[in-house]
């Protein structure tokens, strides 16, 4: 029993000794590798001084190399170290540079130079210190820098793709806004300024068409008058005075304001207008209008629009020429291409003894003058609201209204049906839309203020310019993305090469250290194993 115990204890000691001996691996953190070599006196602290001299000799030796493809590949794009020098010496021997003399020295100068470099590297193990520093630099700086550059290229590509998509969407949006405005204005949009000026000349003809369309509302006006007369029980009144301006337009068309006020057609019309060179104004470029930009009022454009510097005032501000001769009207400085004239229109036949002279605002037509046009629109809205209300009542209580409320009503009220009222309402709505459309509102402003052409054309053309600018940005974004792709394509092989060389250097250093510790296994630890 005692002999068995001693044998067991001896075996345990032998086992412990074996574990603590040469089989125990040496683990070195890569970032502490140089300090480890210096602490164990494998290298000296001043190794960099000797390394600098070796680098100079390597640079000189590289200049005189034989034409060998393997040597060329080895020297290109690589930081030459001790292990590369050994490989170069082997290749030189294969090229016939390894012959020696009687004393065993190399006869080739190339071999002597490289052999001297190797000996200097081995002196005080300079090559180990240099390799350790190279490993740390590659792992800490070179490889992360290349990875960041690749990640930046990938991020640039994603951003360019996103911005390109946004530019396409925004460009289409601004182009759609431009086309929508052109459609509202009734122009094709190839030359906005010229088309707007030409469009303003169509206003009198459009207003004439509106006055002709107004005649379709005669039944609605008669029905409205009869209804008001019946509801108010005004039997003694021949006709209730409602929608007078609509009735006037139905009877006389788009006549002058003078005829609307006095009831008589004027014998003479003195309309003071601006003779504007429309062709010259159409050729004015947006860039050329920069000097007048400070004079543009970007405020509210609706209602009466007038200019303070030679503009036309269509509001009710009194007669411009009380004498009616048209010779004393001062329109101020109208600028180049603008002159003041007075147009006199006389009757073709005998002069109407009851008629007078229409001048100033009274010389304008009722649909062209701002005040009377607003009155006309108010009457249209009144008539439209009445018809909508009647339609609503007839749909809800058609039978009761027919039997009880309208038994004593005039025939004009009793014969009306939902269909006839809908037809009347459609005619009123059509005239109202014709006068209040976006196109008509801009025509009034263009007619009353030529400078408005500059503002509206600039606003529309700006949307088109933004759309084109966004499209041009797409080209630059694609070029930038292609540059990022090219940079990434050039960087990835460099990264793969430096990772490969770092791994090889790690294996060579581990092998060299292991040979100095009786072939114990050496492991360089840390981030170097995850690159």
Query: In the beta sheet, which residues pair with residue 344?
Result: 270
Distance CA 129, CA 150 (A): 30
Report the predicted TM-score, pTM, of the whole model to 2 decimal places. 0.55
What are phi and psi for residue 81, nearest 5 degrees?
-125, -170
Q: Confirm if 146 and 491 have CB atoms less than 8 A apart.
A: yes
Q: What is the pLDDT of residue 22?
A: 61
Distances (CA, A) of 426 to 117, 225, 351, 387, 419: 104, 18, 41, 10, 11
Closest CA to 476 of 152, 158, 163, 149: 163
Q: Confirm if 195 and 187 have CB atoms less than 8 A apart.
A: yes
**For each successive 10 residues of the chain (531 residues), what is the average pLDDT?**
43 48 82 93 89 89 79 73 87 69 62 87 91 94 95 95 94 92 84 82 86 90 87 59 88 86 77 48 44 38 39 39 38 38 38 60 83 92 92 74 62 85 92 87 79 85 91 92 95 92 92 91 92 83
Residue 322: Cβ-neighbour burial (10 angstroms; 0-12, 13-18, 19+): exposed
- Token pair 């310019």: residue: 465
- Token pair 């009274």: residue: 362
Distances (CA, A) of 184 to 180, 203, 277, 286, 289: 6, 15, 25, 21, 24
Question: How does 14-26 read in b/e, with b if 16+ C-beta sit within 10 Å?
Answer: eeeeeeeeeeeee
Distance CA 420, CA 413 (A): 11
Q: Please report which helix (H) or strand (E) contains residue 427, including its range.
A: helix 418-436
Q: What is the pLDDT of residue 263?
A: 79
Distance CA 66, CA 95 (A): 8
Pairing of strands 338-346, 357-359: unpaired
Residue 218 corresponds to which tokens in the numbers above?
């005669």
Distance CA 321, CA 33 (A): 104
Closest CA to 424 of 280, 184, 270, 214: 214
Query: In what side-by-side order are the strands of the sheet with 357-359?
Result: 338-346, 268-276, 357-359
- Token pair 């204890």: residue: 9
Residue 101 corresponds to which tokens in the numbers above?
């003399």
Closest CA to 320 of 276, 361, 260, 368: 361
Distances (CA, A) of 192 to 123, 183, 445, 464: 85, 12, 16, 11
**C-alpha Rg value of the chain to the nearest Å:** 50
Distance CA 523, CA 528 (A): 11
Q: Say how many C-beta atoms besides its own lie within 10 A of residue 63's C-beta.
A: 6
Longest dimension (CA), the chain: 160
- Token pair 């000794």: residue: 17
Q: Confirm if 113 and 57 have CB atoms less than 8 A apart.
A: yes
Q: What is the pLDDT of residue 338?
A: 37
Q: What is the pLDDT of residue 487?
A: 95
Q: What is the pLDDT of residue 101?
A: 56
């Amino acid at each position: 029993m005692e002999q068995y115990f001693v044998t067991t204890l001896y075996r345990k000691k032998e086992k412990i000794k074996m574990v603590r001996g040469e089989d125990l691996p040496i683990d070195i953190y890569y970032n502490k590798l140089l300090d480890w070599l210096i602490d164990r006196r494998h290298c000296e602290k001043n190794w960099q001084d000797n390394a600098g001299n070796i680098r100079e000799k390597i640079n000189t030796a590289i200049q005189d190399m034989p034409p060998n493809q393997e040597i060329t590949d080895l020297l290109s794009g690589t930081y030459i170290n001790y292990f590369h020098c050994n490989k170069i010496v082997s290749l030189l021997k294969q090229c016939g540079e390894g012959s020696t003399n009687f004393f065993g020295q190399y006869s080739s100068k190339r071999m002597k130079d490289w052999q001297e470099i190797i000996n200097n590297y081995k002196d005080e193990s300079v090559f180990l210190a240099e390799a350790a520093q190279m490993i740390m630099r590659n792992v800490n700086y070179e490889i992360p820098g290349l990875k960041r550059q690749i990640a930046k290229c990938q991020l640039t590509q994603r951003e360019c793709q996103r911005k390109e998509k946004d530019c396409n969407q925004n460009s289409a949006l601004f182009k759609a806004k431009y086309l929508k405005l052109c459609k509202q204005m009734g122009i094709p949009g190839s030359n906005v300024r010229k088309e707007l000026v030409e469009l303003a000349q169509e206003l009198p003809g459009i207003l004439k068409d509106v006055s002709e369309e107004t005649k379709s509302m005669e039944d609605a006006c008669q029905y409205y008058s009869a209804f008001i007369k019946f509801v108010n029980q005004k039997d003694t009144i021949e006709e209730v005075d409602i929608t007078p301006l609509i009735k006037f337009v139905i009877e006389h068309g788009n006549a002058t304001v003078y005829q609307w006020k006095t009831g008589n057609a004027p014998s003479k019309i003195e309309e003071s207008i601006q003779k504007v060179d429309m062709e010259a104004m159409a050729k004015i470029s947006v860039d050329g209008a920069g000097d007048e930009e400070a004079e543009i009022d970007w405020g509210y454009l609706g209602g009466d629009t007038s200019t303070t510097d030679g503009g036309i005032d269509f509001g009710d501000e009194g007669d411009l020429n009380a004498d009616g001769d048209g010779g004393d009207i001062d329109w101020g400085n109208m600028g180049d291409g603008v002159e003041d004239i007075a147009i006199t229109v006389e009757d073709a036949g005998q002069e109407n003894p009851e008629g007078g002279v229409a001048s100033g605002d009274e010389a304008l037509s009722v649909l062209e003058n701002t005040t009377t046009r607003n009155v006309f629109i108010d009457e249209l809205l009144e008539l439209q609201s009445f018809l909508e209300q009647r339609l609503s009542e007839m749909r809800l209580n058609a039978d009761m209204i027919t039997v009880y409320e309208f038994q004593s009503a005039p025939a004009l009220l009793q014969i009306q049906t939902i269909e006839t009222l809908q037809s009347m309402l459609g005619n009123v709505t059509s005239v109202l839309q014709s006068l209040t459309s976006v196109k008509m509102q801009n025509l009034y402003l263009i007619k009353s203020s030529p400078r408005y052409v500059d503002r509206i054309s600039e606003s529309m053309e700006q949307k088109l310019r933004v759309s084109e600018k966004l499209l041009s940005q797409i080209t630059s974004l694609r070029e930038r993305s292609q540059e990022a792709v090219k940079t990434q394509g050039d960087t990835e092989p460099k990264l793969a090469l430096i990772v490969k060389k770092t791994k090889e250097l790690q294996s060579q250093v581990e092998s060299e250290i292991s040979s100095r510790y009786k072939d114990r296994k050496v492991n360089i630890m840390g981030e170097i194993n995850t690159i």
